[in-house]
Structure 1
Amino acid sequence: MSVAGCGTHTAQLLDRNGATVAAANVLTEVEWNRVLDGTSAARALIQPDGDCCGRLGNVGSWRNRLVLFRDGQYVWDGPVTSVTWSLGEVEILAEDISVWLGDRVPHESKSFTNVDLSEIAQWLIDDAFAPDDPGHKVKVIGKAGISGSRSYTAGVGQSGDHLDQLAEAGIDYTVIGSTVLLLPETHLVSVGRLSDADLPDGLEVSDDGKALVTRWIVEGSDDSGVIGSDGGVDPVYGLHERYVQMTEITDTASAVEAAKARRRTSAQVPVFIDTQQVTISPLAAIDVPNLVPGWALDITSSSTCRKVTQRLKITGVKVTETGGDETTPGTESVQVQVAAAATEVA
């Protein structure tokens, strides 16, 4: 049975062509996370031994990748973005492959008319990596189920920003290793179950009133002049309006769909369950590599005044291991953040 909190990590530093630059034989600290609709990060603190020091001296940002394994299973991979050498240790910071999208722009002009958002997202990613590909893959778990029209101009805007705007209009993405997963916001496939027994230190349940918007207004490109809206006065919460311009939108129907997608996730005060300050019990029957943002956990808790029995979407995962040496494994902690979609709160 797989459990949380009992894993041991190893790390490798690879060249862009996949060749091993250095192995972290003495990994004293490691931390990695996964996030929904964003770029995850990892940190490895290495104590050089033998000829490892010389090899680690050649590690550089963007030239190399940090690859992490948990109990021999591949769990995290991404380009090195910072290296710090100090007496007796080397600290490696890295981000997942989507960090490249923040340094890329569209390389050709492209227009889409009434197509599923997953198709647009895949094109944005593939186009961003086309001139220089560090080895990405795109896997469509499911269509967004939301169609729209978008227009992109070569050299205008960062590809990562364009993808984030699509994520706000009805599609989710997450990164595992070198693969960008695209999935609908309605994806709620469970990968495990947690109860109060699995959270011995308790958990925190909160609602976020600042996230409430009952009416969205979305304006398209300046040239199109289109505006779409959805929602209005809520009988419980009153009127909370928000305007945003999405310059890649080219027609009214797409602006309306974008407004509807935003209202679906903000029309009621969302409830979050956060274990970021609480470690999941090492005895919890959770397969850590399967904790992927965009999937879900079945949560049952009566430890707070806000009782919860619900399938909730994973929005973040954080795994750390500290205190290990050549002969003694470190102590691992696994933390997860889940949230109820606004449409499910009622």
Structure 2
Amino acid sequence: MAICGSHTARIVDRGGGVVAQADVLLEVEWTRVLDDISEARVLIQPDGDCCAALGRVRPWRHKLVIYRDGQWMWEGPIVVPEWRAGGTVELFAYDVLAWVDRRVPHETIRFQDKDLADIGAWLIEDAFAPDDPGHEVQIIAPTKIRGDREYERNIGQSGDHLRDLAETGLDFTAVGSKILLLPESFCGRVGTLTDADFPDGLAVVDDGLALATRWIVQGKDDVIGEAGGTDPYFGLLEQSVEQTSILDSRSAQAAARSRLRVSNPAPVFIDSQQTTLSPEAPVEVRTLVPGWCLDVTTTATCRTISQSLKILGVKVSEDGDGEKVSVQLTPAGKAT
């Protein structure tokens, strides 16, 4: 069975030492998400001297590390520890990108004709430069979108700057302490699923609220980029957005094309957040990484889909009723 695991956890000091080993988990939940910060939660029933050790846990000083069947799956800083009467301890944690959200640019820099992946890597490395609790950046592939960007020392949160890049053709996600950067059009396949792999059923959603046939991106000063127009089928639906980090027309054009690519036609996605994968689903949980793709065929609804779908999010939870694994999927981006 590919989907049927058991979890343990470990609390680790930023210096690397183990603070506590949590082998008795009443509940565990962890996620992976695209272009944002993922979360995790564990409810621990301490045994032995573990209670005293857990009483020493402090937010941002200590990391939560989660294992599934002995394999490392998730880690990140604990942000809220909660000690309850009766001895249970609940820990809430974010992934490594949480530190990027709590950092600012540490120098003023201007990029000219740089790939977005390289700019994103700089933002992350600069964010960790003064204080690194442990991280790694891996560029899966260049975005092939080049442009100009400028960042000023102490202005804006580095995480917000990274999200701005994600609006213009770059994707990012965290897997443990590693931050992956990849092009929006990336679609490495990790498995094939059918209706039989979703025993609770699926919902196919056509997100008309996200439909736009023309995008206008306003950069700094008078920089403008646009893409699309009146669609022969949908008509004209326009959206305008301001992104002052964009300094040149080519980048603004690329940003407009990137937004158009995911908004026309309207995103049709398989919403499986309320369902679970079958224990026999032919995928490995460790390979379910946002940004990668699953080939999915569903004929169980009136809207048939058979295509490669990008993983937007993964949620894994375990309690007394067993393990549940769900994924949220959306059509893979198409080059324009």
Query: 1:53 — aligned with what?
Result: 51
- Within the candidate set 3, 8, 23, 2:21 is matched to 23
Query: 2:170 — aligned with what?
Result: 171
Corresponding residue SS for 1:221: coil
1:311-338 CA distance string (max 9 Å, x none): 1100110000101xxxxxx610110111
Aligned amino acid, residue 190 of structure 2 = V
**Contact preservation (8 Å) 1:141, 1:181:** yes
Corresponding residue SS for 1:318: strand
**Contact preservation (8 Å) 2:11, 2:18:** yes
- Within the candidate set 336, 339, 345, 2:330 is matched to 339
Query: 2:235 — aligned with what?
Result: 238
1:155-207 CA distance string (max 9 Å, x none): 11110010001001001111000010001111111111111111111111001
CA distance in 2: counterparts of 1:198 and 1:268, whole angstroms? 27
Query: 2:133 — aligned with what?
Result: 134
Answering whether residue 194 of structure 2 is matched by residue 184 of structure 1, we say no
CA distance in 1: counterparts of 2:150 and 2:77, whole angstroms? 30
CA distance in 2: counterparts of 1:122 and 1:59, whole angstroms? 31
1:86-126 CA distance string (max 9 Å, x none): 02200000000001111111100111111110010000000
Corresponding residue SS for 1:100: helix
Query: 1:251 — aligned with what?
Result: 248
CA distance in 1: counterparts of 2:333 and 2:159, whole angstroms? 25
**Contact preservation (8 Å) 1:280, 1:335:** yes
Q: TM-score, normalised by structure 1?
A: 0.94
- Within the candidate set 62, 68, 87, 2:66 is matched to 68
Answering whether residue 288 of structure 2 is matched by residue 297 of structure 1, we say no
1:27-69 CA distance string (max 9 Å, x none): 1110000001110000000001111110000001101000001
Q: Which moved more, 1:227-236 or 1:43-52?
A: 227-236
Corresponding residue SS for 1:69: strand
Corresponding residue SS for 2:29: strand
Answering whether residue 319 of structure 2 is matched by residue 322 of structure 1, we say yes
Corresponding residue SS for 2:133: coil
Query: 1:213 — aligned with what?
Result: 212
Query: 2:7 — aligned with what?
Result: 9
CA distance in 1: counterparts of 2:309 and 2:332, whole angstroms? 8
Unmatched 5+ stretches in structure 2: none
CA distance in 1: counterparts of 2:332 and 2:5, whole angstroms? 31
Deviation, 1:343, is 4.2
Q: Within 5 Å, give how 1:37-186 maps onto structure 2.
A: 37-87=35-85, 88-186=87-185
Unmatched 5+ stretches in structure 1: 324-329
Corresponding residue SS for 1:200: coil
CA distance in 2: counterparts of 1:250 and 1:311, whole angstroms? 34
**Contact preservation (8 Å) 1:267, 1:342:** no
CA distance in 1: counterparts of 2:198 and 2:223, whole angstroms? 49
- Deviation beyond 6 Å, 4+ runs, structure 1: none
